[in-house]
Amino acid sequence: MKDAHTGKEKTRTPYEPARFVGTALLFGDLVLLAKRIEVCPHTKKKVEYGGYWSIFCGAVEENEAYHVAAHREILEETGLDLDKSKFIHRELVRDLRLYTYELDEMVYPALNYEHTEWGYFKINKIDVS
């Protein structure tokens, strides 16, 4: 059976655990997004969704709790060491466990190689088509 969004064959049943986590960092009516690199500097391969703006996402490591994975990915990709207790699980979208995190103040990430730039965007102005 093919995934309706990607057109790729589904490899996960609804009963399997999520393989990825993603966190939307929120400040009021703004969300912090980062633009994904287009080519991985290590593998020299094109990155899936390269050049697109995204929340911060990554793979869950073996035996890792989801909220711990979400915290680790934020730390790795932004340099921000956020309070683990403030990660709020919102939903499971295919194999991605989605979290939100309400920031107390506007933060300025130090991006790792996975992103080229960052910015705050008004949530109600984002075109998701």
pTM: 0.83
pLDDT at 123 over 90: yes
Say what the pLDDT of residue 71 is. 97
Q: Mean of the pLDDT values across residues 77-84? A: 97
Say what the pLDDT of residue 6 is. 54
pLDDT (tens digit per residue) in 38-79: 999 999 999 989 999 999 999 999 999 999 999 999 999 999
pLDDT at 111 over 80: yes
Domains of the chain: 26-122 (3.90.79.10)
Say what the pLDDT of residue 4 is. 46
Which DSSP letter does residue 125 get?
G
Q: Mean of the pLDDT values across residues 100-112? A: 97
pLDDT at 117 over 90: yes
pLDDT bracket for residue 3 (50, 70, 90): very low
pLDDT (tens digit per residue) in 12-42: 455 567 799 999 999 999 999 999 999 999 9
